[in-house]
Amino acid sequence: MADRIQPRTLKGFRDFLPEAELQREAVFETARTVFRSYGFVPIDTPALEYTEILMGKGSDETDKQLYRFTDNGGRDVAMRFDLTVPLARYAAQHIGELGTPFKRYHIGSVWRGENTQRGRYREFMQCDFDTIGTESVVSDIETALVIHDLLTALGIERFTVRINNRRLLNGLLEARGLTDQATGVLRSLDKLDKVGPDAVRSDLVATVGIPESDANALVDLAALSGGSDILDQVDVGDSELGARGIDELRQFMAGVEAAGVEPGRIVLDMGIARGLDYYTGTVYETVLDDLPDIGSVCSGGRYDDLASLYTNQRLPGVGASLGVDRLLAALEELSPESSARTSAPVLMTLFDDSRRSEHLAVVAGLRRAGVGVELYPEARKLGAQLKYGDRRGHTLAVIIGDTEWDDETAQIKVLATGDSHVVDQDELADACRRLLGDA
């Protein structure tokens, strides 16, 4: 007999037990509802792309992290590292059929061969939404509103959406003759939250190679945060690009205020750089106020030139991505209580295999009435079945024994409290819905 293979998973990859997967699916369902309320439609793209589609589109770091190989047909291929670059290829390929503006959402796995850490894995889900084909600030405002509504719908009360515009930084670099060093500057500023202003200032001088006066100006700009009033303190010299960025941020903040967003929930933060090379305008990062060190749980930005790599047609875009795995890791730290392991709130117990058909008829009726119910598959003692229901996270257990069959009644037990309710069988669905609504 051959040696048994040890069951194990690769570092940075995970199996999901039911309670974790139920949590993820609940997030996806909520996200779909919010996205669709704004008119976004679903798409999908392959996990595998030609390497030339992906290489050089994110950053030097993402290039190094690509899962890249030669397939059986001798093609140089790689697994997608995000959902935005494949979207740019997708839009360039299909925009004639789609039309503009095109609003899409996409929920799928991506892969990066990076060092694992808290809330970061080598395979993870992204939950993206984007608007393609318009440079209107309305789409930038709407992106922030979707982030706001999504986290609110997920029951997160304390979060902050931090906003910047890459045109300000690019304008300042232009005014100081540092445009050629933009990539290095972005990499350095993107570390601001992790290492602090002094370390970034030193890195700009020693590593990027810019004068100390310019490094001071960049760090001073990055230190500004707050409401629209901070834009009066932004100095981008005589750069028209920088002035455009300031004007866009003023319009942006006026728009989110008009939409009724609570003051302080969406703020300007000139320190937000976003390390990916393709961002050109508004950029977004979202932090949980009670766990800021876990990083941004929903990020994105405007990328007006990315699709130009694949088509002559100008296809500007803006969007963001919910980091589902990072968000769930954060929520587990904030609220570590156990989760349900079942998707059906009601358990139907079974005492007598000879009554199987009657039980199947009852649970079918409950499902037709919109009540999710799991039928225990074999006759066992009631205590064992109720223990199973409690462990799985069922809310209610329905008990129909010989007495109940004779009386045409059913007993409903609320598992969390042990309370029991006897109802007529023809009222069972209504009673279950009522009790579930009260739970």
Domain assignment present for residue 9? The answer is no
Average pLDDT over residues 67-86: 95
Domain assignment present for residue 1? The answer is no
> In the predicted model, is pLDDT for residue 157 greater than 80?
yes
Residue 5 is given by DSSP the state P
355/315 same-domain check: no
- Omega cis (within 30) before 197: no
262/236 same-domain check: yes
What per-residue confidence (pLDDT) applies to 340? 65
Average pLDDT over residues 332-354: 82
List the structure tokens of 400. 């129909």
> In the predicted model, is pLDDT for residue 110 greater than 90?
yes
What per-residue confidence (pLDDT) applies to 337? 59
30/131 same-domain check: yes
- The domain boundary, picked from 334, 365, 384, lies at 334
Average pLDDT over residues 372-392: 94
Domain assignment present for residue 2? The answer is no
Pick the range with the lowest mean pLDDT from 240-244, 341-345, 367-371, 387-391: 341-345
Structural domain that includes position 427: 346-438
306/374 same-domain check: no
Q: What domain count does the chain have?
A: 2
Which has more confidence, 273 or 358?
358
Average pLDDT over residues 78-89: 93
190/123 same-domain check: yes
CB 138 within 8 A of CB 255: yes
> The whole model's pTM is what?
0.83
pLDDT tens digits for range 197-232: 889 899 899 888 898 988 888 888 888 999 999 999
118/255 same-domain check: yes
pLDDT tens digits for range 261-295: 999 999 999 988 776 677 899 999 999 999 988 88
Integer Cα distance of 11 and 150 in angstroms: 31
79/217 same-domain check: yes
284/155 same-domain check: yes
Domain assignment present for residue 10? The answer is no
367/321 same-domain check: no
Domain assignment present for residue 287? The answer is yes
- Residue 392 in 3-state DSSP? helix
What per-residue confidence (pLDDT) applies to 415? 94
380/320 same-domain check: no
Domain assignment present for residue 3? The answer is no
Q: Domain of 364: which CATH number? A: 3.40.50.800
What per-residue confidence (pLDDT) applies to 191? 82
Angle at CA of residue 42, ends 38 and 43, nearest 5°? 140
248/376 same-domain check: no
Integer Cα distance of 68 and 87 in angstroms: 19
- The domain boundary, picked from 311, 334, 357, lies at 334
In terms of DSSP bridges, do strands 409-414 and 420-424 run parallel, antiparallel, or are they unpaired? Answer: antiparallel
